[in-house]
Amino acid sequence: MLADIPEPWRALLTDVDDLLAKHRGDGPPVELHCVGGFVVAMCYNLARSTADLDVFEVVPATALGPLLAAAGRDTPLARRHGVYIDAGSRVATLPESYADRLTEIFPGTFVNMKLLVLERYDLALSKLERNIDRDLEDVQLLFGSGAFDVGVLRERYLNEVRPFVTGPVSRHDLTLDLWVEMIEELRGKGDRASRPYPNAHRRRLRFYARGRLTSVATTSAERRVSATKVSVPFAHPAVGQVGAPTTKRLGWSCVRP
């Protein structure tokens, strides 16, 4: 984890801290339960760029509205600092007991709020349902190096995530299996762990996770072919002048999906 919060996040969050003073009152500091790329960048890899701080929960809940009104997308603070606070991740499915494992980052930096971040396995599992390219990259950053216990990941998924996911459960089960395969291969390839995972495997993850369980082994060369023009014989009854050709060729285009 970084020892100090970098700019422009420090400037934005300092302004937010001042604005939250009246919402805190005599109570404890407002808690922001942080998820997403901000947590990956602050705790695991500063090279991970993000323009928003995703919050899953704000305690007390009454502070969420004023927080977004002050520092949400397209607000004056967001335009001034170039970053903003977003609550879009509130639709994600987090492990049921994630709050018991939250950790404060940059303690003592702010007076009226605390930034609490998800534990690493919880953070990864928060990305399982969506499973887009950026989520796969984050999972790679989280587990490509350092300690990784596949038993912890599976157990937490089965007990705290699987009962609450939306959509076909089998799809999410398969996504987790492919995540584990990806992580274990990354960790077995030495310096390759720091590079993006091969495109073919990333496509498998995306297609499987979206329920497309066939035709997922398409190679890069095949994907580059978007259309093929072919000509086929087309027979029709003889018409017109005696001796004229009785066949012509029909041209048509077939566009690959």
Q: Which residue, among 88, 66, 87, has the nearest Cα to 77 in the 3D structure?
A: 66
pLDDT surpasses 60 at 238: no
Domain boundary among 63, 89, 119: 119
Same domain as 69, residue 15: yes
**Same domain flag for 6 and 87:** yes
Which tens digit of pLDDT belongs to each residue from 142-173?
Answer: 887 677 899 999 999 999 999 999 999 999 99
What are the helix (H) ranges across the chain? 9-19, 21-24, 37-43, 64-71, 76-81, 120-125, 133-143, 150-156, 169-187, 199-209, 220-224
pLDDT higher than 70, residue 205: no
Tell me whether residue 173 is exposed, middle or buried, using C-beta atoms within 10 angstroms of its C-beta: 0 to 12, 13 to 18, 19 or more. Answer: middle
Judge if 110 and 27 occupy the same domain: yes
Give pLDDT tens digits for 43-91: 987 678 899 999 999 999 999 999 999 999 999 999 999 999 999 777 7
Whether residue 162 lies inside any domain: the answer is yes
Ramachandran bin of 32, using left for φ above 0, alpha for ψ from -120 to 50, beta for the remaining angles: beta
Residue 204's pLDDT band, with cuts at 50, 70 and 90, is low
Q: Say whether pTM exceeds 0.75.
A: no
Is residue 100 one of the residues assigned to a domain?
Answer: yes
Cα distances from 167 to residues 93, 162, 175, in angstroms, run 12, 11, 13
Q: DSSP 3-state assignment of 175? A: helix
Question: 181 and 114, same structural domain?
Answer: no
Q: At what angle do helices 199-209 and 133-143 cross, to 10 degrees?
A: 120
Residue 249, in any domain of the structure: no
- Burial label for 63, CB within 10 Å (0-12, 13-18, 19+), is buried
Quick one: tokens of 98? Answer: 């994630």
**Same domain, residue pair 80 and 194:** no
Residues 27 and 102 in one domain: yes
Task: Please report whether residue 20 resides in a domain.
Answer: yes
**Whether residue 103 sits in one domain with residue 196:** no
Q: Are residues 141 and 67 in the same domain?
A: no
Do 138 and 114 belong to one domain?
A: no
Please give the pLDDT value at position 46: 64
Kindly report the average pLDDT of the chain as a whole number: 79
Same domain, 132 and 73: no
Assigned domain for 241 exists: no
Among 93, 119, 145, give the residue marking a domain's end. 119
Same domain, 89 and 188: no
Tell me the residue range of the domain where 161 lies. 127-214
Count of the separate structural domains present in the chain: 2
- Whether residue 152 is contained in a domain is answered as yes
Residues 23 and 115 in one domain: yes
